[in-house]
Amino acid sequence: MDITIHLSQEQREKLAYIQQHSNQDITTLLNQVIEQQYTKLHPRNSDPLKVLKESGFIGCGQGSPDLSTNYDKKY
């Protein structure tokens, strides 16, 4: 599909910056943005493990609030 778009000067500069710093062509960049937006709008279609890995989440737990200072007495 061929697409023609009109960008403001600011948007053209941002696009050029992204291209220079990512070494990707416009088609690749647009495909990535489309995929990201599609995943946001259709979360059911995304891989849960991929979403978790990309979120930066480290982990969580539940326990006594003073566990870090009294772990040797409790365990």
Tens of pLDDT, residues 33-62: 999 998 888 866 567 888 788 888 888 888
Q: Please tell me the predicted confidence (pLDDT) of residue 45.
A: 58
Q: What angle do CA 6, 8, 10 make, to 5 degrees?
A: 145
Q: Distances in Å between the alpha carbon of 26 and those of 1, 9, 33, 37, 46? A: 14, 16, 11, 16, 24
- pLDDT of 31 > 90? The answer is yes
Q: Does residue 20 surpass a pLDDT of 80?
A: yes
